Amino acid sequence: MDKNLENKVFKIISDSLGIVQNEVRLDSKIEELSQDSIQLFGLIMAFENEFQSKVQYEDLMKIETVGDIIGYIKDKNLTPN
Amino acid sequence: MLSFTSIQKIRTIPLQAYLSQKEIDIYKKLLLTKKNDWLAGKFAAKKAIRFYFLKKYQTGFSLKNIEIISGKFQKPDYKILKPSPWGNKILKKIKHNTNICISHSTGAAIAAIASTLKDGLTGVDIEKIRNFTPAVLNSFLAKEEKTAFNRQSDRDKPKLATLLWCVKEAYLKAVGKGLLCHPKFIEARLNIKKNIYEIYDNGRKISTNIQWRVFKKDYIIVEVNVMNTAQQATRNYAN
């Protein structure tokens, strides 16, 4: 399950930000992967869409890396479509 | 006070001419893809700060003696390194009365510095004019903004959408929220009589001064100064 979730998150990030999947690692910083705030906003929307859940914007403060996103999804018990 | 630059303009300038040693160390550790924007942002900010001090205090600094640092609430801050013409106390007081903001996009950057008491909190944004996906548009545009957007010709739609995004983001950066508040809660309304944009935050009109322009044909630049921030400071942003 964890590996599935990891792959799913990697794919959403690479599709949304237009980067190849093997550039995405657990310790990659989201800010460094995205080019600008519009891309970042698109990424948030892609996750909201995939997990059918509204992201609490206050929670974004706690998310720095790809690993943090996976941790957030697990904490909130979110499941992909 | 606004300053803008592009990486093409500063590529030939040695880093030592405008970065402190600490900044050079940070730069070396950056990802290759981030280096240009980072440099352009720092250069623009230092230029704005230097010009502000020159104009207001007739005092010049070398760009490398101005260090851009991370500030509170996601806003950048700066330090004047020694040698400085003022003692720490005076410098602290001057600095306390100013605030800065930086934005960059694909090798271009803008920065602003404002006197907090006189000009309020400053926020800037620069974005390349682009086509937004319908889903993103639908999510960040408020109802009236969508109506205004739909009235535009297909040719002008990307420009208006980018402008509306920039206004929202510059405002959110000014008040120290950044992307921690959903942009749909911020509405930019065009005051047709005055031909200026006005900002509504959760439906409440905010006292702002907004300036925007097209930069190098491909970019939109926006500067938002938020006045009377003490009264407007806290708000509840429910999703």
Contact between B40 and B7 under an 8 Å Cβ cutoff? The reply is yes
* Chain B nearest C-alpha distance from A3 (Å): 27
Are both B192 and B88 inside the same structural domain? no
Are both B100 and B127 inside the same structural domain? no
Residue A55 CB contacts under 8 Å (≥ 6 apart), including other chains: A44, A47, A48, B239
Domain limit, last residue, from B84, B119, B154? B119
Question: Which residues from chain A sit within 8 angstroms of residue B178, using beta carbons?
Answer: 37
Residue B62, chain A, CB below 8 Å: the answer is no
Give me the domains of chain A, ranges plus CATH numbers.
2-75 (1.10.1200.10)
**Higher per-residue confidence, A56 vs A24:** A24
Low-confidence ranges of chain B (pLDDT < 50): 231-239
Are both B114 and B141 inside the same structural domain? no
Q: Which of A38, A49, A56 sits opposite B165 (nearest CB)?
A: A38
pLDDT digits (tens, 9 = 90+) for B100-158: 999 999 889 999 999 998 899 999 999 999 999 898 999 999 988 999 999 999 999 99
Are both B7 and B112 inside the same structural domain? yes
Q: Which of B33, B136, B180 sits opposite A58 (nearest CB)?
A: B180
For residue B90, the domain's CATH number is 3.90.470.20
Burial of B89 (0-12, 13-18, 19+ CB in 10 A): exposed
Between the CA atoms of B78, B67, B15 and B223, what dihedral angle is there, to the nearest 10 degrees? 10
Q: Is the pTM of this model over 0.90?
A: no
Residue B146 CB contacts under 8 Å (≥ 6 apart), including other chains: B137, B138
B79 beta partners: B67
User: Does residue A1 surpass a pLDDT of 70?
Assistant: no
Residue B106 is part of which domain span? 2-119
Are both B113 and B171 inside the same structural domain? no
In a domain, B239, yes or no: no
Are both B125 and B181 inside the same structural domain? yes
User: Does residue A75 surpass a pLDDT of 80?
Assistant: yes
Residue A19: count other Cβ atoms within 10 Å of its Cβ. Answer: 17
pLDDT digits (tens, 9 = 90+) for A7-39: 999 999 999 998 898 889 999 999 888 888 898
Are both B101 and B33 inside the same structural domain? yes
In a domain, B236, yes or no: no
Are both B25 and B115 inside the same structural domain? yes
Cβ–Cβ gap B105/A36 under 8 Å: yes
Are both B125 and B74 inside the same structural domain? no
Are both B48 and B21 inside the same structural domain? yes
